[in-house]
Structure 1
Amino acid sequence: MTSFRMQRINKELLREISILLQSEIKDERAKRAILIEVDCSKDLSHAKVYYTTLRKEDREEVQKGLDKASKLIRSILGRQMHLRQIPELRFEYDLVEEKARKLEAVLDSIKSKEDSKKEGPEESL
């Protein structure tokens, strides 16, 4: 459970990084990232920035663009945010959406099997 202060820092980092990606970063690959969440360590040394893309094919290119832009983003954040230490940014592709799709597919297949079992005995009557 993160503290209220850490939640505020995470939200502010997410907002500022999103703005920087759209306005300050020239790399078009990095601009295709859709930021989901920021998870900053308690000592503000590291921050994981979770992102996704519209197309799976763009994932590697977007990762390269974000990795290239991370130091510039961190330096700009250092000037804009009033924190003693700006965390080192690590961009990670968010797998939650893919896992949710897989889980939904499994649940749909279970439901269709149950529906077919219910229909089977009624037809024999």
Structure 2
Amino acid sequence: MISFRMQRINRELLREISILLQSEIKDERARKAVLIEVDCSRDLSHAKVYYTTLRREDRDEVQKGLEKASKLIRAILGKQMHLRQIPELRFEYDVVEEKARKLEAVLDSIKFTEDERKEGSEKNQ
């Protein structure tokens, strides 16, 4: 179980990195990222920053932009946050979001098929 302190740090990192991506980072590729979650190690040495994109095709370009901006983001975080150590940022595409979208599409198609069957059976009666 994650301690309250780590939850607070993760939330604060998520908020600050999201703000920085929109206000300080000029690389358009990085600005297309939608941050989902931050998972920081207990010793604050590194943090995984999970993101997704609105368009799946942008995934690789966004990753490159985030990697390029990571040192600048970390430097700015060092000035803004009151932590003894700012974690090294590792950006990872959130596959859970993509899987959820696919599952939703499958469920929608099943519902659509059921609706078609109901309409067809009503017409036959």
TMscore range, shorter length: 0.7 to 0.9
1:59 is matched with: 59
- Distance of 2:77 and 2:25 partners within structure 1: 13
Instruction: Spell out the pairing of 1:1-125 with structure 2 (5 A cutoff).
Output: 1-104=1-104
- Measure how far apart 1:103 and its partner are: 3.5
1:44-90: CA deviation from partner (whole Å, max 9, x where unpaired): 00100001111011111000000000000001101110000000000
Instruction: Give the counterpart letter for 2:47 in structure 1.
Output: A
Aligned-residue Cα RMSD (Å) equals 2.2
2:123 aligns to what? none
Q: Supply the distance in 2 between the matched residues of 1:17 and 1:112 (Cα, whole angstroms).
A: 40
User: Aligned equivalents of 1:44 and 1:104: distance in 2?
Assistant: 36
Offset, 1:8: 0.3
Letter in 1 for 2:21: L
| Distance in structure 1 (CA, Å) of the matches to 2:38 and 2:99 | 19
- Partners of 2:110 and 2:23 in 1: how far apart? 46
**Structure 1 residue 37 displacement after superposition:** 0.5
Distance in 2 (CA, whole Å) between partners of 1:23 and 1:105 is 34
Q: CA deviation at 1:98?
A: 1.6
* In 1: Cα distance, 2:114 partner to 2:59 partner: 37
Cα distance between partner residues in 1 of 2:18 and 2:40: 16
Name which of structure 1's ranges 92-101 and 47-56 shifts more when overlaid on structure 2: 92-101
| Runs of at least 5 residues in structure 2 that lack an aligned partner in the other structure | 116-125
Residue 112 of structure 1: how far off its partner (Å): 8.4
Gaps spanning 5+ residues in structure 1: where?
A: 116-125
Equivalent position SS for 1:11:
helix
Report the AA paired with residue 56 of structure 1: R
